[in-house]
Amino acid sequence: MRLHDDALLKHFSYINGSWHSSNTQLPVTNPASGEVIARVHNADVEQTELAVKSAKAAFADWSKTSANERAALMQKWYALMMQHQDDLAQILTAEQGKPLGEARGEIAYGAAFIQWFAEEAKRVYGDTIPAPSGDKRILVIKQPVGVVAAITPWNFPNAMISRKAAAALAAGCTFVVRPATQTPLSALAMAELAERAGIPAGVFNVVVGDDARGMGKVLTQHPDVAKFTFTGSTQVGRQLISQCAEGIKKVSMELGGNAPFIVFDDADIDAAVQGALDSKYRNAGQTCVCTNRIFVQNKVLEAFTEKFVKAVKALKVGDGMSEGTQIGPMISSQAAEQVQDLVIQSVAQGAKVVAGGTTPQRNFYQPTVLTQVRNDMPIACNEIFGPVSPIIAFENEADVLAMANDTEYGLAAYFYARDIGRIWRVAEGLEFGMVGINEGLISNAAAPFGGVKQSGNGREGSRYGLDDYLEIKYLCLGGINL
């Protein structure tokens, strides 16, 4: 890493506007090289409680600032993130592994939520409702929920935080996040820039520590936490929801996915190939909206597969810092081995490897394509979270909709078709929170991101994204006719 601004590389948790040390440290490792790039002080349960209490104290003033004041500070934060985009991207690639170009893209994507919600803060409108009797007036106002606690994953170390924090701060809430242990540096760099932007002490706090369970208990159960928001696996999300149940916390969850990508016989095949590459291989297949199963109609199966396999074989695997790398390392060697296990199990059940599929080299897994896959094979039933495309043939629309929906997940889905009747039928029939139609890249700050079924609840981004951080209060004004 060669940063223009070394002060962005922080090693301490950020609580109540100051940097907190502890007795032990956590190594942060570059997944491409295995090299330790930093040691971050390991915050504990008490420091997590301190962060929650600080956020509670800061809420008193922050919730009373005007939307304009909050927006102005957030715009400064956004501008600083964009000004330091290159440094932030280097930090991100060093700790997470994705190619530098993708990391730059994530910084812009993450910062865009801060800009979007800075603007949206000014549009938290209330309502007036005609009352059932003449001497009353009914009004609805919206108020910030209070302290928001968050736990985020390693796959988007910047954007998974900004998507939550931007909406929370815009609504007038204060915020405590525990980032994934593997990728704390991006979160701490965001805290440094929040401070430079003038965001008051206690409004945005970052606690880094390896006691996931202990810190998670504080963030889900502390009486001062009003709302808990999580991005991560469905398995951990389920457990955290149950922890929130005791205190009846408001909860939103962005969990796992198993995205179908359907190519109909009227699709533009070249566009579908590009869409499949975009939605599958970004971040080495480690995104929640990654294509997990490619369904291709029999008539175009050969044409699609031939072009797709050729494109996948041309993808360049390497260190994310190296020029031209398209597929970086996976987050760990265990993650690469888990993907390889799914491939081996599915091949044993009749799937055929037509690209990649070789034994992982440490954290690196070759982009892989499997054909002759069935929807009940391990590679299709599980969230792969790696660079493998299983191709499943289908005959008609009804069959493919049934197969696509045959999963506990409901995050993203994609399909390529040109017939307008088919487009409406399939878009409405897919049981997923987001559907890309002739498009493989669907995430942006203006759009509501989120899932149905066991992919979670709540939405991030868009004007709907503020709702999760606001309470509706009904005011009944009586005595008008006295």
Which residues contact ligand NAP (rule: CB under 6 A)?
Answer: 151-156, 160, 180-182, 210, 212-213, 216, 231-233, 236, 239, 254-257, 288, 383, 385, 411, 451, 456
Shortest distance, CB of residue 167 to ligand NAP, whole angstroms?
A: 13
Q: Which residue has the tokens 């701490």?
A: 188
Tokens of 273: 């190939």
Tokens of 164: 């939550």
Taking the least distance from each CB to ligand NAP, the nearer of 224 and 254 is: 254
Looking at this protein, which amino acid is placed at residue 437? I
Shortest distance, CB of residue 461 to ligand NAP, whole angstroms?
A: 10
Taking the least distance from each CB to ligand NAP, the nearer of 156 and 415 is: 156
Taking the least distance from each CB to ligand NAP, the nearer of 234 and 346 is: 234
Taking the least distance from each CB to ligand NAP, the nearer of 272 and 342 is: 342
The neighbouring-strand residues paired with 139 are 128, 475
Collapsing DSSP to helix, strand or coil, 309 comes out as helix
Shortest distance, CB of residue 223 to ligand NAP, whole angstroms?
A: 18
Phi/psi of residue 350, each to 5°?
A: 115, -5
Shortest distance, CB of residue 382 to ligand NAP, whole angstroms?
A: 10
Q: 247-250 long-range contacts, Cβ below 8 Å, gap at least 24?
A: 247/220, 247/221, 247/223, 249/220, 249/225, 250/145, 250/226, 250/468
Tokens of 136: 């009353």
Separation in Å, CA 22 to CA 9, 26, 181, 207, 374 = 17, 10, 15, 11, 51
- Is the distance from CB of 197 to CB of 73 less than 8 angstroms? yes
Taking the least distance from each CB to ligand NAP, the nearer of 371 and 382 is: 382
Q: Which residues contact 263 (CB under 8 A, 6 or more apart)?
A: 269, 272, 276, 294, 295, 296, 297, 300, 304, 415, 416
CA 115 centroid distance within chain: 17
Shortest distance, CB of residue 113 to ligand NAP, whole angstroms?
A: 12
Shortest distance, CB of residue 271 to ligand NAP, whole angstroms?
A: 25
Catalytic residue among 95, 102, 192, 254: 254
The candidate with the shortest Cα–Cα distance to 289, out of 380, 403, 414, is 414
Helix (H) or strand (E) holding 263: strand 259-263
Is 244 among the catalytic positions?
A: no
Taking the least distance from each CB to ligand NAP, the nearer of 172 and 216 is: 216
The candidate with the shortest Cα–Cα distance to 178, out of 231, 134, 248, is 231
Shortest distance, CB of residue 309 to ligand NAP, whole angstroms?
A: 26
Shortest distance, CB of residue 161 to ligand NAP, whole angstroms?
A: 11
Shortest distance, CB of residue 255 to ligand NAP, whole angstroms?
A: 5
Is 288 among the catalytic positions?
A: yes
Strands 434-437 and 18-20: what pairing?
unpaired
479: left (phi over 0), alpha (psi -120 to 50) or beta: left
Collapsing DSSP to helix, strand or coil, 475 comes out as strand
Q: What is the distance between the alpha carbons of residues 33 and 356, in angstroms, rounded to a whole number?
A: 21
Q: Which residues contact 80 (CB under 8 A, 6 or more apart)?
A: 193, 196, 197
Tell me which residue has its CB nearest to ligand NAP: 216
The candidate with the shortest Cα–Cα distance to 201, out of 14, 69, 378, 366, is 14
Taking the least distance from each CB to ligand NAP, the nearer of 231 and 340 is: 231
| Sequence-ordered strand ranges (E) for 372-441 | 388-394, 409-410, 412-416, 434-437
Tokens of 399: 């069959």
Taking the least distance from each CB to ligand NAP, the nearer of 244 and 423 is: 244
Catalytic residue among 288, 290, 383, 460: 288
Taking the least distance from each CB to ligand NAP, the nearer of 289 and 312 is: 289
Positions marked active-site: 254, 288
